[in-house]
Structure 1
Amino acid sequence: MGGPSKFGGAKVIGMTSKQEMPPPGGYPKVKHARYLPNRGPSGAALWLGSAFVIGVGFYMTGQENLRRNADKLEKRAARLSLYPFLQAEEDLRYLEREKGMLKEEAELMQGKKGWVVGDTIWNRKGVWRPPTTGV
């Protein structure tokens, strides 16, 4: 047997080494490029879509604000048209209360000499002040 080879094994006598060669015409090309499928819309499409959605939202908000303001204006006009009637009713209630208080004052002070019914102790002659009642 032959002596030891440099890899530690014994050489086989009568065996020659043969270089392995590529097939005729060469090996086929190796596909090394990655296949990345399309993963959704592009950045520009996302921006345009977002801008469109935001624009529609602002438009709808503006339309709702116009509708709400028209409703407020209608309600305000209705209240302003009713105010004179409500004020007239309150004035009637005030006059009835005032008449009742003057009647009660006349009954209470009937024996007092020099007492003028409806006269005030404060110097407010000729000055009318609105009643302190809430409407």
Structure 2
Amino acid sequence: MVGQDMPPQGGYPEIRYKFRGTPRGPSGLAIFAVSGAMILGGFFMVGQTNYGRKMDKNLNREARQGILSVLMAEEDLRYVYARRNGQVTPNVYKTPGLWFPPTK
């Protein structure tokens, strides 16, 4: 007959599976708070960038509007000279209110 292995007298020692040291790293709440602060800071920076771009576009638009009348007058003069010299072709597609393809 073969003998069966048995535990030692008094049993095996207890297995330690719980952590009994000092906690390592920040708590979950601290990580959550720092992550939220970083996200809010990023949103703030994006908002500031968008605001600055909008101001730049408005400044550019105002500068263009300031010289718009001069540009329009120059284009009108160019068109008048081109029309006098016969360089302006009539628009063959233009009909009163409708558009028809050209006939062959």
Bucket of the pairwise TM-score, normalised by the shorter protein: 0.5 to 0.7
Question: Cα–Cα, structure 1 residues 97 and 79, in superposed 2: closer, same or farther, change >3 Å?
Answer: same
In structure 1, stretches of 5+ residues that fail to align are 1-31, 102-135
Aligned-residue identity in percent:
40
Computed over aligned residues only, the root mean square deviation of the Cα atoms, in angstroms, reads: 2.0
Q: How does 1:2-21 map to 2 (within 5 A)?
A: none
Q: In the aligned structure 2, how far is the partner of 1:41 from the partner of 1:49?
A: 10
Based on CA coordinates, which of the two structures has the bigger radius of gyration?
A: 1
Q: Normalized against structure 1, the TM-score is what?
A: 0.47
Separation in structure 1 between the aligned mates of residue 20 and residue 29 of structure 2, nearest angstrom: 23
TM-score, scaled to structure 2: 0.60
Q: Find the residue that maps to 1:87 and give its secondary structure.
A: helix
Corresponding residue of 1:58: 43
Moved over 6 A (4+): none
Paired position in structure 1 for 2:69: 84
SS in 2 for 1:60: helix
- Partners of 2:53 and 2:72 lie apart in 1 by 28
Matches within 5 A, 1:1-135: 34-101=19-86
Report the number of matched residues: 71
Provide the rounded CA distance (Å) in 2 between the counterparts of 1:42 and 1:83.
Answer: 61
Considering fraction of residues, name the structure with more helix: 2
Give 5+ residue unaligned stretches, structure 2: 1-15, 87-104
- AA in 2 matched with 1:88: A
Higher relative contact order (CA 8 A, sep 6+): 1
Partner deviation per Cα, 1:32-73 (whole Å, 9 max, x = no partner): 675334221001101110111011111111111110100110
